Amino acid sequence: MQLHFHTSAAPADTTVWPVQKGQSVPEFAASAQADFNGDVNETLLLYGDGRKRLLLGLGEKTGLNGLLKAFRKAFYTNKAKLGSRVSLDLTGLDARQVEAVLLGIQAGGYNLKLYQTTQPEIALFYTDAGELHVQVAEADLTAAQEAGRRAGIIWEAQRAMLDLMNAPSNYKTPQTLADWAVASGRDHTYSVTILDHDELARQGYNALLSVGQGSENPPLLIVCDYTPENNALTTGQPVRTIGLVGKGVTFDTGGVSIKPSANMHLMKSDMGGAAAVLGTVEVAARLKLPVRVVGVVPATENVVDGMATKPGDVITSYLGKTIEIIDTDAEGRVILADGLGHMVRHIQPDVLIDLATLTGNVIAALGYQAGGLFTANDDLAAQLLAAGTQTGERLWQLPLWDDYKDDISSDVADVKNYSGKPINGAIAAAKFLEAFTDNHPAWAHLDIAGMAFADTEFGQQKNATAFGIRLLLDYLERIAVQ
């Protein structure tokens, strides 16, 4: 699909008209006013004069994520009817709104049928012959063109992460994530280091190794480092370093503490944190953000064989703290212990953020509308909450008080990985992770279990959302100008 910007209307096979609820429809659609209310995601396709016009309802108040989702669904549902040339008037929208609309339109062409032998015919609009003509005010033309460039970069990273997350485990191993990172680093000029099984063993990343030891696909530690060209080495001015750690469990059976079979097939999604981190580093590098971004992904499978870690085992993490394994299905926090350990020992970032599809308990608390935010740093909390509100990838802060510390107290080790209680599981997991941050003053944990895999128009069961990339990008751009 080719993207063109204009300051006047352009001829097209289909013209898309966004309509707010309560707003009058265009004159050509007056006869359809009674059938169209402008409710969110409402669409009405009209034919006449040899052209098609698609009315798209946006509801009463539409934020960035609402715009993105409305255009994504409308274009996905109607893509076969659009023709090759589509026009859209976005006059009056600011650059962030234009970016959200264009992200939604590009996402509308996503194909979830990754491994079907008979692939659906690609809609003409989403081929190289497709054209999207966007009308904006002349004063906004340059900003809109930049929004289009950004949307293209963000969508390419999101689409790659959607494909990785939606891939089944026989097509996606820890090595698959490493190969993607290496290729991305090579293409977009940032460094990538892979610590393989032998190197992990030599250096003592035993928490990560313990989770992966039941799998024939060895665990890896992926380190992606984007450093801007105008850094302290060239300018003499310090550049802030943001460390991102993402849980990369490419399949999770629960280990010896095995999960019920009913929804285990969805555990190919247990790398949502890794997807957010890998995608964000690529976007930061391609947009040349003036901030150093280091992504660390401990990648592994959590499966069962005779070598698998057993409940009651005690392991020693990279930082030297010992962990009693109460539940092998609480593996995400165990591998993050070594990911965080690598970050605080080797990178020493100014800000440290980890993301993980960590607990079902956070879904019980917040549903599928927000991720859980845990931090003792009020400024960091405010920045992340603001980024979530702006992008619509929302967060809600939950407590991290020391009153919950007993939940990770072990009789035989420094900490245990599971409290055994049916309550406050997300908080207990955050308290566990806190023990491996070396008291970092600006650390935040994001539990995105309810957000990384969700119901969408793309499929009949839950599938990937690429949640976190836009959230983190907004946060990085906020602090880059401070």
Among 81, 96, 240, 259, the one annotated catalytic: 259
Question: Does the active-site annotation cover 113?
Answer: no
Catalytic residue among 268, 286, 333, 470: 333
Which residues contribute to the annotated binding site for Mn(2+)? 247, 252, 270, 329, 331
85 given a catalytic annotation: no
| Farthest-apart Cα atoms in the chain, separation | 79
Separation CA 433–CA 425 (nearest Å): 13
Q: How many Å apart are CA 442 and CA 72, to the nearest integer?
A: 35
Chain-centre distance for alpha carbon 192: 20
Cα gap 270→143, rounded to integer Å = 37
Asked if 463 contacts 474 with a C-beta cutoff of 8 angstroms, the reply is: no
Nearest to 13 by CA among 110, 90, 79, 108: 79
- Binding residues are 247, 252, 270, 329, 331
Q: Write out the catalytic residue numbers.
A: 259, 333
